[in-house]
Amino acid sequence: MAPSSAKLPMNTDTIITDFLIIGAGVAGLRAALELSRHGHVTMVAKGGPQDNNSFYAQGGVAVALSEEDDVDLHFTDTIKAGHQLCSRPATKILVEEGPSRIHELIDWGAQFDTVDGKLAFTKEGAHSRHRVLRAGGDATGSEMVRALSTKAQGLNNLKWLGNHFGVELVIQDGRCCGAIVLNESNGTCQTILASAVLLVTGGAGQIYARTTNPANATGDGIAMAFQAGAVLKDMEFVQFHPTSLYLPSSPPFLLTEALRGEGGILRNNRCERFMTHYDRNQELAPRDIVSRAIWAEMQKTKARHVYLDVTHLGATFLKERFPTIYSTCLRYDIDITEEWIPVSPSAHYFMGGVKTDLNGASTLPGLFAAGEVACSGVHGANRLGSNSLLEGLVFGLRAGQAAAQYANTHPSPTRAAAVHQTKNSARKMSEQDVEKLRNSLRRLMWTRVGLIRTEDSLQKALDQLQQWSRKLRVPPLSRTGLETHNMLQVGLCVTESALWRANSVGAHYREDIPFSKGLKWKVHSECRQTHNTTTRSEQLNSQEKNKPARRKVRMKK
């Protein structure tokens, strides 16, 4: 919990609000709309209102609304894609409440694509039906954010604070009652007290050298919750998207799964279609299978990428159906109507995160979470494509409702909670050194805790991460410093959980243990910060109980 061990330049003013939301995106906006009915809401986020994963979501939102579909089929597909590790109650809530949330969003002005006056649905990998709604062809996330933001702009009791970075959560009498935030414009910290706190900070794809996530996806909410004592769950399950644009001179750019849903073909550098050798569903197999197949072909042909061929779909169709992808690739001198697109896997989505119940409540009283930062168990070991935006709507609302109910039954925090105890500690790392560490961290996670893992690679990564963690115990009080500290924290939890899970299931693949069905494979990992115990199983001997440790990883049935 490094930031609190240093003297922070505090703004003497304390903001008191009914509800504090840290982060933005679909889950946060939906929660804000609900909480505004119950009191004053303060919403803080680093960067601007469009700096969130939701805004960049391309493919669509999965919901059982088409004539050929029903919620039972959506439920079955989600459980299957999650390798039977999904929470069935959470999945049931997702698919059953999803249609109402989409109709609600349409009533608020969201404009989804239509054909002949009816909603247009497409099919993606591991879906048995055409159930993925889209907007603007390949700009679904931005349209959903736009509709929710427009609705929120009319609220008088919602206050937005952009360019404010969450440093740490405020705990009083074992309860979360606010947060300390860094004002990025002047470098001072401020305490915001609230009756309930909601984390909607998204994922942590930036801990990997290759990721489809925007630059702000550094795991801040996950790290803050962990440092405050909340339990994390299933951190080893990191989904790698099979197809991101591969160019040495450009960052990875997501190429939505809908490209393959519309008939795109994967080819290796020998021009061969290869998915027929890996799964009967070929290009529409689940994401973990397609990602590993691409990786295997890259190793087999000694190439850095494979190709996605959509040229046969027609120029007019591609320009109208995928306008963002067409224009982006064209900027890099790739005309997708005439050329194959170089692609390779990239870190994409965290199935794990802050452990919550079905209403978004974490294990820390007063703290709630929704969206990618949370782990309700709805995604299991591998997320079904396009379920994430739906999750944000469904569980954003439920978390907002639960937070409002919690605030009604618990007293408001007192100003005494704003007293910030500090200790003298010198900051030894410069911004330049932190940036170097950050880059090294991302390369380490990609090579040793990435798509393919082994006990040896994970142990070497863990040793290095622990060394860096000691070195960066007190980061510079800046966005770069705090983000890097959080990335280290999340990287440690991912690595320890991956080392603990001695099998392969879903997005977690151990090359040294490639089988999934084994003794107690249907279990969930949990990480909790602790000072008196460490364990990787449910059975402890007396010697293990007395070992000092900073965290524990254990399995939960």
- What DSSP string describes 69-133? --HHHHHHHHHHHTTT-S-HHHHHHHHHHHHHHHHHHHHTT----EETTEE-EE--TT-SS--EE
Closest CA relative to residue 494, chosen from 436, 433, 551, 435: 551
**Quick one: 430 exposed, middle or buried, by C-beta within 10 A (0-12, 13-18, 19+)?**
exposed
C-alpha 125/C-alpha 386 separation (Å) is 10
The interaxial angle of helices 387-409 and 140-152, nearest 10 deg, is: 30
Contacting residues for 465 by C-beta, under 8 A, at least 6 apart: 441, 444, 488, 491, 492, 495
Residue 42 three-state SS: strand
- 421-425 long-range Cβ contacts below 8 angstroms, 24+ apart: 421/4, 422/4, 422/5, 422/6, 422/7, 422/8, 423/5, 423/6, 423/7, 424/7, 425/5, 425/6, 425/7, 425/474
- The pair phi, psi for residue 260, each rounded to 5°, is -75, -30
C-alpha 65/C-alpha 219 separation (Å) is 33
Q: Residue for token digits 């190429």?
A: 255
Tell me which amino acid residue 326 is. Answer: Y
Are residues 368 and 402 in contact, defined by beta-carbon separation less than 8 angstroms? yes
- What DSSP string describes 326-347? HHHHHHTT--TTTSPEEEEEEE
C-alpha 105/C-alpha 151 separation (Å) is 10
Give the β-pairing of 238-245 and 524-529.
unpaired
Query: Which regions of 273-322 does DSSP assign to beta strands (E)?
Result: 306-309
- What DSSP string describes 452-494? SB-HHHHHHHHHHHHHHHHHTSS--SSHHHHHHHHHHHHHHHH
Active site residue 287: yes
In this structure, the number of other CB atoms found within 10 A of the CB of residue 255 comes to: 29
C-alpha 316/C-alpha 149 separation (Å) is 32
Q: Which two tokens stand for residue 113?
A: 């694509």
Question: Which of the residues 175, 287, 321, 479 is marked catalytic?
Answer: 287
CA distance from start to end of the chain: 29
Closest CA relative to residue 521, chosen from 510, 533, 529, 534: 510
- The pair phi, psi for residue 242, each rounded to 5°, is -65, -35
C-alpha 285/C-alpha 275 separation (Å) is 9
C-alpha 402/C-alpha 421 separation (Å) is 30
Q: What amino acid positions are annotated as catalytic residues?
A: 287
